[in-house]
Amino acid sequence: MKIYLIRHGETDWNLMGKIQGREDIPLNDTGRNQALRCARAFKEKGIRNIISSPLIRALETAKIISDKTVKTDVIIDKDLIERDFGLMSGMTYDRSKYFDTFDHEDTMEPLEKVGKRFIGCIRRYAERFSGQDIIMVSHGAAINSVIKTLTKGDKGSGKTRLKNACISILTYKDREINLSSFNLSPEEFMDIEG
């Protein structure tokens, strides 16, 4: 089976370069259009289950995809929520680099913890919907933590900047999770998946 990880569409904070973390920032018009492009990419995939982070930017992305494809309720799971960036939430990336020099990273959720909870969530739904492909809508740092874990640090957190509304493809077979592709635009996804 395949698990499609989708990063939420763009928000105004993405445009400003602000760290969103657990702040509940809605999609902007571009983000809603990006979600519609994802929906078109999944229209013929036969997906029946979409699971989302509870944060509005992810949930809105998931609902747009669901409304145009599966037309079922989106399952909300707190384990797909974004990394808690603590005192760095709301800062721009340039300012956060400066802020890091004062050893305030201890206010952030440890990256290993993010990856562990997200991968646990993937396993739970892969077992629950055994044999059915699923979509999970989440956030950049959270998805990157999974990519980092699955590639043993070759890709993901610290190395990959995920695009808004990008699609990453995981396979789940014999209780093993593997990364097939990542950071695909909806158009790149359609080229690969047909």
Q: Where in the sequence numbering do the catalytic residues fall?
A: 8, 82
CA distances from residue 157 to 18, 95, 118, 145, 194 in whole angstroms, order as listed: 17, 19, 14, 6, 29
Alpha-carbon distances, residue 78 vs 81, 82, 160 (angstroms): 5, 9, 24
Task: Spell out the residues 6+ positions from residue 118 whose beta carbon is closer than 8 angstroms to its own.
Answer: 79, 80, 138, 142, 143, 145, 146
Residue 178 structure tokens: 């593997």
Which pairing describes strands 167-173 and 134-138: parallel, antiparallel, or unpaired? unpaired
The beta-strand segments (E) located in 22-175 are 49-52, 75-76, 134-138, 167-173
